[in-house]
Structures are given as C-alpha cells and as structure tokens.
Structure 1
C-alpha cells in the first residue's frame, strides 16, 4: 500500500512540475486541476514517506509558501528511487527528461 500511495504522490508532483503551477487550464481557459491534489500528496508523504522525503517535502512546501513556486526535482527523484528500490528495480541515474505535450484544438468556428 505504501508504494502505491507514494506512486500516486509521485504522479501528482510530476504533474505540478510539468505545469509549473498549482492549476491547469483546459482549452476553454477554465481551471480543470487545482491544488487539492497536491495538498493531499503532501499529507501522504508525511504519512508514508521516509525521513528524507519528509525533510524535502518541508523545503518544497516552504518554497511554495515563500515564493509561490518550488523546484520538486530532488523530492521527485528521491521518491522515484524509493519506489524502484521497493520494487527491486535498479536505480535510474540522474533526472529523467519529462515531456509536456500541449494540444491546441480548433474551435468549431475555425473550420
């Protein structure tokens, strides 16, 4: 259960990092993703995380509070490696390159 919960946390932190924001807008400009998921993820780290993960989470939270932004790369890497180790997988050297694909759809009137 711990690995499953931390995998969900990883996914949420990754998404926040990709968007660089606590919100995401749909094609119409409406907010479709809000910070509640990140707030829940922080709580799960405090519940299921290692001491190192908790310390990095504290830094991450303080950065959001102080600067309205945060670099979660180290936290993400530590969680990823913890999950991989728990699953018996070898470590991944360095930080993987993540991809953000943004699709621009034509509106009905653009023909």
Structure 2
C-alpha cells in the first residue's frame, strides 16, 4: 500500500470522525439542558455514526489486500462489498435516526409534589 493511498483514506474519514468527537464533547457540555434521555439517544447516534466511519476506514484500507486475496473474483468481491455496504448503511441510518429522535423527544416531566 502506498503512502498516498494511506493518506487519501485518512483524509476521507478523519474529518467526519473529528466532527463526531466534537459533537460528543458539545453534547457532554449541554447534557443537563437536553435531558438524560435525549442525551443518551444522541450519544448512541454519534457512536453508531463513528462506528460506521471506523468500519469504512478499515474497509478502505483493506481493499487492496482483499482484492488480491479474492483472486480478482468479481462475484466474491461483490458479495463482500454488499455485506459491508449493508452494515454501514444500517449504522448510518440508525445513527442519524437516533440523533433526530434525540432532538424531538420531549423530556420526562418531573413528578409534582
């Protein structure tokens, strides 16, 4: 694997990971205002999106050796690629859905005394 490929892979994934980490830090500073349930949903959403980015990073780094190991078989590569795409798409949809839900969920009212 060349240095240029390695740098281009990281350049494609590190900015999104930095935004997700920054979002978690901002969320931690606003946790009380959002409420526990909303904050937990947002953390889960950010975690799912970060996991998808990490899996994407690993996938992209392993592509050259994977292609070589599969013997340039288009069918085998297509099956593995489909599995990767399915997992990352589901993680992305779940993460975004959790973040949206965290924004619109109403906090549980405090009991009246």
Does the alignment reach a TM-score above 0.5? Answer: no
TM-score normalised to the size of structure 1? 0.31
Of Structure 1 and Structure 2, the greater strand share is in 1
Q: Which has the higher contact order (CA 8 A, sep 6+)?
A: 2
Q: Which has the larger radius of gyration?
A: 2
Of Structure 1 and Structure 2, the greater helix share is in 2
TM-score normalised to the size of structure 2? 0.30
